[in-house]
Every structure is written in structure tokens, then in C-alpha cells.
Structure 1
Amino acid sequence: MADGSGIEWTEATWNPTTGCDRISPGCDNCYALTLAKRLKAMGNPKYQEDGDPRTSGPGFAITEHPSALDIPRRWASPRVIFVNSMSDLFHARISSSFIREVFQVMEETPRHTYQLLTKRPRRAARMAAELPWPSNVWLGVSVETTDQLWRIDDLRRVPAATRFVSAEPLLGSLACLDLTGMHWLIAGGESGANHRPLDPTWVRELRDSCREQGVAFFFKQWGGRTPKSNGRELDGQLWDEMPVPTQA
């Protein structure tokens, strides 16, 4: 948990669960997996259980943290909160009962805005009827290439007031992307020692799709050895559009 964040599109992070498993190309150089290994070595008690070495790693086993549930309740002033920067709330090994507890916290703290990002929207859609969907809960899906477009279709089945797409790391063209039912799109390049290149044409295609379909567009970074290596400008300007909140 961090009250404050280096992620440009949020203000704080909250991790009621930690750990995950790689399931698509965007996971290949997962920053959270690398960070979990470091936190385990530092003795952080939340990162001592190891995940499957084929898909996860040291300190990155799926773990629920009931002691973290009250943290947003203790934050008196409103914050935009990225939920589970170190996990995926809809992972199959997170219990349905704990997911419901997380949603209860979000429902009980309407002063905050919660941003959930998942690669597993099918489970979100299956659970949608048993979860509250207040207007302060946003749900997004990661889409790195055209092979993940099905995630947007599943997201449309969820009654979140604000739905968004994270095309980060963007690994291929998503030209003519259908953004029906979406309110926001984040695009960005990969960072780290093994970062893959980002073609400017792919970013412009997404920006133009957003303009044509009335969707807010946020360009996070070009990526490189570090997240800030090559800046954030696209065609000479910053693109920091945010969605207009709607009612669930």
C-alpha cells in the first residue's frame, strides 16, 4: 500500500491481495513479479510465499491480506486508488468471499475512486450479479495485442459505471479498436532491461480511435530502460485525459 503513487493515472495504491500468475505476453516482463522477489529478500512479511515457478516466482504466491481491508477507511480525504497493483483481484485462487469483502470496503467509502485492472474479466462477469457496483468503482482490462480483445467483450458484461482499457505494454497494432461501452483508454510502452519496442503508429491509432469514439485517452509513457526514459509526449503534447464519471 502506498499513499501516493508514481503511476501517472492514479494517486494511491491498495493491495488487499498480492501475487499473480503470468497468462499473456504482457506479463512476460512483469514489474510486480520482479518487485515481489526483491521484497521477499528484504524480509517483507507479505511476500514470503512463492508462486509456481513456471508462471509466478519468489514471494509472488496469491495471498489474501484481511489486515489491509481497513486501510481505505482510514484515509479521510478522497483519493484515486489503484486496487491491487501487485495482484489481480479476479484471479481464480482469490476466494469469492474475499472479493466480496473488498467490494464492501469500496462501497462503504464513496469518497474514494477505485480503479481495478484485470486480465481475468470472465470471472468478473460471472460474479457481477453478486457484487455491488457503486459509481466510484472503475473496472478495466489489459489488452496488449489483438489476441486479448475478448477481454473487452467480457468487460462489457460487467455493470461498472466506468470501464477502461489498459493497452500497456502495447505490443502490437490495435487499429480500428471497437471501444463501445468503454470510457477511458490508457496506452504505454514497456520499461525495464528487456523492454520491447513501441511503434508510434500503434499509439496514434489508439489516440485516433478514442477521438472518433468519444473515449478519454491517456498516454502514460514510451518506455525504455526506465519508465521515464523516453518521456510521455505524443506528437508534441501530453495526453492526460480522464473519463467523466457516470452513475452505475
Structure 2
Amino acid sequence: MKNSKIEWTDATWNPSTGCNKVTAGCKNCYAETMAKRLQAMGASGYENGFEFTLMPERIDLPRKIKKPTKFFVNSMSDLFHEDMPFDFLDRVFNVIKETPHHQYQILTKRENILEDYFTNRKVPKNVWLGVTVENSKTKNRIDILRNIDAEIRFLSIEPLIGEVGEIDLTNIHWVIVGGESGHKARPMKSEWAIDIQRQCNEQNVSFFFKQWGTWGEDGVKRSKKSNGRILLGQEWNEEPIYNIV
């Protein structure tokens, strides 16, 4: 549990760590790099590096936080990983339900497991449920997400590594877009991001532009900070309307 540098959340909570690659967007995974670095430093919880690992000792951490907090769940893993037992997931969601003063943002690339888990379960009202979309090949995840009854449904189109094309944002409340960072980052073309912003505007969906990443709007490789967050002449920090339970 720690404060987060991620622009669209307050803190991170990782009841599991580690993952494995499932689509092209995973190629330069920041979490894998960080996990191996933490393992080398001897950090608690990263003894297994980036192998999927349950962290039951972290389950109750949100209960100890009294200040209403927006948590990104599993910044260092995927909550719906294929090795995640459903009974452990039940424990995670029990904590979420019992801490309604917090909001929990959950993001997955494993939409089929997400769908399976919620077939006979309800999504707590304080959960923002999202899927990652990296290009046109992965936008099928949106169709599964839109049919799950969640208070907030969102897309993380990051890293945006290819044109997404036309997208149906029915029942989607929020879209985050960002380029890839790191020395092996793949460039994001400005027209891809601009086209997504246009569609959000046309379909009345909140739009958040997170970053250009390593490659700037001008196609020059430099630090992420130097490239900034300006798209179409402004920063886009829109968020969906959420009514606290």
C-alpha cells in the first residue's frame, strides 16, 4: 500500500504480485521491470520476482485507512490472472464491500476470467471495472466489459501501440489513453490518440490523456516528463461522475 505516481489514482493495493504476457501490449511491461528491481533489492513481497504470487498478508490493508482513498488494485499484477483462486478473489472483494468509503479501480487483460467470476457475483458499488485495449486486435475486450453490471466501466488504452479504429463506447464511462514509456518504448502516433478523444467526445464519455511516454507528439524520443501530457493544446483530466455510496 503506497501513494501512487499514477495520475488517475491515489494509491495502489497489491493483494497479489507477478504476471505473464498475454498480448502485444505486455511486451515492455513496467511492472515486470519494477518487480525484478525490487527482487534484487530484497524488497518484501518480491522474493519470486515477477512470478504470480498471492499476498494474503496485504488483504486487510484498506481497512486500516480511514481517509477515503481511490485505490488502483494490483498495479503489479492482474487480479484476474489465470492462477488466481476464486476463493482468494472473494476475500479481496469482501474487503472492498466492507470499505465503502474507498473507491477501487480494477484493470485486467483477462476479460474472459473477469466475465466468468462475475457470472454469479455482483460487482460492489465502489468498484471501477476496466479492461486494457492496446490496438484494434484487443478491442473485443470492451464487449465483455460493457455487459458486466458495474457502477463505473473504463478502458485503459495504454500503451497505445496501434490504431484502435471505431469503437462502441456504449455503457463505458471513462477512457484513459497513454503512450509507452521506457527505453524500449514503441511510439504512439498523435492521430491515434486524437481519434479516440474525438469518439469520446461524440459519445459523451470522459477522456483522460495520461502521457505521451518516451516518444513525443513530434516523434522525438526524450524523457517522459519532457514530452508531457498535452493533446490538442490542453491537458485532459476528465473523470466519470461517481456518487459515493
Partner of 1:140: helix, strand, or coil?
Answer: strand
Distance 1:173 1:20 in 2: 26
Of residues 115, 118, 122 in structure 1, which corresponds to 2:105? Answer: 115
Kept in 2, the 8 Å contact 1:135–1:245? The answer is no
Partner of 1:152: helix, strand, or coil?
Answer: helix
Change over 3 Å in CA distance of 1:160–1:154 after alignment to 2: same
Partner of 2:36: helix, strand, or coil?
Answer: helix
Change over 3 Å in CA distance of 1:104–1:132 after alignment to 2: farther
Of residues 131, 134, 140 in structure 2, which corresponds to 1:141? Answer: 131
Q: State whether structure 2 residue 237 is matched by structure 1 residue 240.
A: yes
Q: How does 1:6-21 map to 2 (within 5 A)?
A: 6-21=5-20
Change over 3 Å in CA distance of 1:62–1:207 after alignment to 2: same
Which deviations, in whole Å up to 9, do the C-alpha atoms of 1:71-110 show, x marking residues without a partner? 1000001011100000000001011001111111111001
What residue in structure 2 maps to residue 54 of structure 1? none
Kept in 1, the 8 Å contact 2:136–2:165? The answer is no
Of residues 71, 76, 86 in structure 2, which corresponds to 1:96? Answer: 86
What residue in structure 2 maps to residue 37 of structure 1? 36
Shift of 1:116: 0.3
Query: How many percent identity over aligned positions?
Result: 50
Of residues 178, 181, 188 in structure 1, which corresponds to 2:171? Answer: 181
Partner of 1:129: helix, strand, or coil?
Answer: coil
- Unaligned runs of 5+ residues in structure 2 are 215-221
User: Larger deviation: 82-91 or 176-185?
Assistant: 176-185
Distance 1:180 1:227 in 2: 32
TM-score by length of 1: 0.93
Distance 1:42 1:130 in 2: 42
Distance 2:244 2:40 in 1: 44
Greater than 3 Å deviation, 4+ residue runs: 129-132
Q: How many residues align?
A: 238
What residue in structure 1 maps to residue 190 of structure 2? 200
Distance 2:110 2:69 in 1: 25
- Unaligned runs of 5+ residues in structure 1 are 50-58
Distance 2:244 2:114 in 1: 19
RMSD: 1.4
